[in-house]
Amino acid sequence: MKKNAVWIAVFAVVVIVCALFAVFNKKPGDTAQILRNGEVIKTVELDKVEEPYEFAVEGWSGGENVVRVENGRIAIIDADCPDKVCVNTGYISDGSRTIVCMPHRISVRIVGADADIDAAAG
C-alpha cells in the first residue's frame, strides 16, 4: 500500500512536470531577435528574463537605439533617429508585430519557439 502511494506521487509529479514543460515549450514567440540591416546581431530569450534590463544597439550608420527587455516582451524605449517610429511602436510580445527603425536599419522581431530555440539548445 505504502509503495503504491509513493509510485502514484512520483507518477503525478512526472505528469505535472511534463505538462508544464509542454506548455512552456509550445508557447509561441519567446525569442526576440535584434537585426541590423537584415542580420541578427543579438538574440534574447524573453521567457528567461528575470529582471528587466536595457542595452544599446548601434545603428547601421551611427546613432543608437536603446532596447528594453522584460519577461515576455521587448521594446525600443529610446533612439536618436529622426522619426521615432521604433520608440512609438512600444512593447511587442509576439510575432504579430515587428519594431522597425528605418533610419538606423534596426528591427526587433519575435520568432516562434520551434524556429531557433531548438537549434540553440541542441
Q: How many CA atoms lie within 13 A of 11 on its CB side?
A: 6
- Pick the closer one to Zn ion by CB: 30 or 36: 36
Query: Is residue 81 within the footprint of Zn ion (CB under 5 A)?
Result: yes
Give residues 12-51 in contact with Zn ion (rule: CB under 5 A).
none
Per CB under 5 A, the segment of 12-20, 25-33, 44-52, 72-80 that binds Zn ion is 72-80
DSSP 8-state symbol, 1: -
- Pick the closer one to Zn ion by CB: 77 or 117: 77
- Among the listed residues 89, 91, 87, 92, the one whose alpha carbon sits nearest the alpha carbon of residue 110: 92
Q: How far is CA 42 from CA 12, 21, 31, 70, 106, in A?
A: 39, 25, 10, 15, 11
3-state secondary structure of 22: helix
- Pick the closer one to Zn ion by CB: 75 or 81: 81
Assess contact for 42 and 53: CB atoms under 8 A: no
Q: Which residue from 67, 101, 108, 110 is in contact with Zn ion, where contact means CB under 5 A?
A: 101
Query: Is residue 108 within the footprint of Zn ion (CB under 5 A)?
Result: no
Per CB under 5 A, the segment of 9-17, 20-28, 47-55, 74-82 that binds Zn ion is 74-82
Query: Is residue 86 within the footprint of Zn ion (CB under 5 A)?
Result: yes
Binding site for Zn ion (CB under 5 A): 79, 81, 86, 101
